[in-house]
Amino acid sequence: MNTETNKKSSELFEEAKILMPGGVSSPVRAIKPYPFYTTGAKGAHLRTADGITLIDCCMAYGPLILGHAHPEIGSAIEEQLERGWLYGTPSPFEPEFAKMITGDHPGMDMVRFVSSGSEATMAAIRLARGFTGKKDIVKIEGGFHGAHDAVLVKAGSGATTMGVPDSAGVLSDLVAHTRQVPYNDPEALEAVLAKNSDVAALIIEPVLGNIGPVLPQDGYLKEIRKITKAHDVLLIFDEVITGYRVGIGGAQKKFGVKPDLTTLGKIIGGGLPIGAFGGRREIMELVAPQGPVYQAGTFSGNPLSLTAGIATLRYLHENASLYKNLEEKGRALEEGIGDMGGGCFVRLGSMFKYFFRSSPPKDYREVKECDTAAFPVFWKKMLDTNIFLPPSQFETNFLSEAHTDHDLAALAQAYRKCR
Ligand code: PMP
């Protein structure tokens, strides 16, 4: 970024740095030497404080499957604003939305709404411990489940980018209850569970999104379902990214594997803050006030997020060709980029990334072998070409319904020029 042409952004960052840690509200946004500031967004484009228009392939890290400021979602939010945006009581939106979500997900008989993906995974882990009476959890190396203590171990997303997979302030006593296994390695899971009978749950992003996409090898998800069941360990699918991204019903439907618990976020809020966790009825019935596992939130199930969520899910259901179109957009980009040498393109529908290694990685260790020095140079060149990719070799890139053929051609051309 050139300070001359991005004067306003650089000035805003100078001020923000004094007032906010790292100048930002979430670490991955702290682009060096300073982030651009967004003042508007429409479709697949961001508009910066300095009047530059960028093609966006970050899409707010996943929620915006329909693009920025989608008119139907916007109208639904506007209509709801007239009726108030926070009640502190149940609203009719809750059973309506719960019916949609449980109807779409084979693994969800009941659901509780929360305000973020982090809250959802935190509650799901507590619930798994409450249900099984066991202490430990197993997570996948490089899996990211939000910024709470139990899962900040070998986490993907910003935690990998920033080189702090283990955060200061997290008690080692607590993290001692979080075991790690590599992705795509059912034997490693079997070995851990065979040795340890105190495991409450395996929490897994069915497609590793926060260091990826890293895709499940054939049969892997079915295999871990079998292993967890055999050891009486709950299987938690963290579908905060994959939910409604890889299709209606998420990865559990796509890969035909029924988890015990599921966490959702991102797309189900239509761009407003949200999270949800749900699962088998006998487990969910333990959630307060029906059962003894406490969980609560002032903003949980707020009418504005639910309105945006309902409008989004309705749109996804009513536009049957949407996922096919997203697949075609993804394929057009992949073909447009072609074989550039020295890297590989990995894609699942509208989730994609160009990895700086010769073959698709299968786990965290292989992702970490990527040429991390080459990525920032490439990323900066892309930004100078007015394309915004997530500022990390480890984050998934996203397409939306709003990316046009023109955007895709411009993207492919930029990839080839900047590599
Ligand atoms: N789980 C996964 C798989 C995620 O990708 C994220 C966020 N990127 C979270 C949980 C946490 O969600 P939130 O940022 O809404 O707290």
Do both 43 and 156 map to the same domain? no
Do both 336 and 297 map to the same domain? no
Within-domain flag for 1: no
118 CA → ligand 1 middle, Å: 6
Do both 96 and 228 map to the same domain? yes
Judge if the beta carbon of residue 115 lies within 6 A of ligand 1.
no
Do both 341 and 298 map to the same domain? no
Residue 179 lies in domain: 71-317
Domain count, the chain: 2
Pairing of strands 136-140, 178-181: parallel
pLDDT of residue 159: 61
Atom of ligand 1 nearest to the CA of 118: 16
Q: Which residues of 174-196 are buried (b: 16+ CB within 10 A; e: fewer)?
A: ebebbbbbbbbbbebbbebbeee
Do both 117 and 256 map to the same domain? yes
Do both 64 and 75 map to the same domain? no
CATH number of domain containing 52: 3.90.1150.10
Judge if the beta carbon of residue 63 lies within 6 A of ligand 1.
no
Do both 271 and 325 map to the same domain? no
Atom of ligand 1 nearest to the CA of 119: 16
Alpha-carbon distances, residue 223 vs 139, 148, 218 (angstroms): 16, 28, 9
Task: Give, using CA atoms, the residue closest to atom 10 of ligand 1.
Answer: 145
> Cα(112)–Cα(92) distance, rounded to whole angstroms?
14
Judge if the beta carbon of residue 302 lies within 6 A of ligand 1.
no
Please check whether residue 419 is in contact with residue 412, taking contact to mean a CB–CB distance below 8 angstroms.
Answer: no
User: What is the pTM for the complete model shown?
Assistant: 0.96
Do both 344 and 208 map to the same domain? no
Do both 90 and 41 map to the same domain? no
Judge if the beta carbon of residue 116 lies within 6 A of ligand 1.
yes
Do both 45 and 110 map to the same domain? no
7 CA → ligand 1 middle, Å: 32
pLDDT digits (tens, 9 = 90+) for 161-185: 444 446 889 888 888 999 999 999 9
Task: Give, using CA atoms, the residue closest to atom 7 of ligand 1.
Answer: 146
Residue ranges of the chain with per-residue pLDDT less than 50: 161-165
pLDDT of residue 379: 94
Burial environment of residue 217 by CB neighbours within 10 A (0 to 12, 13 to 18, 19 or more): middle
Of the three residues 286, 301, 317, the one that is the final residue of a domain is 317
State phi, psi for 274 to the nearest 5 degrees: -165, 160
Within-domain flag for 2: no
- Which of 115, 139, 236, 240 has most ligand 1 atoms within 8 Å of its beta carbon, as the pocket-test mutant? 240
Judge if the beta carbon of residue 117 lies within 6 A of ligand 1.
yes
**N residues, the chain:** 419
- Which of 59, 61, 118, 299 has most ligand 1 atoms within 8 Å of its beta carbon, as the pocket-test mutant? 118
Within-domain flag for 354: yes
pLDDT of residue 163: 44
pLDDT of residue 407: 98
122 CA → ligand 1 middle, Å: 11
187 CA → ligand 1 middle, Å: 27
406 CA → ligand 1 middle, Å: 31
273 CA → ligand 1 middle, Å: 11
pLDDT of residue 419: 85
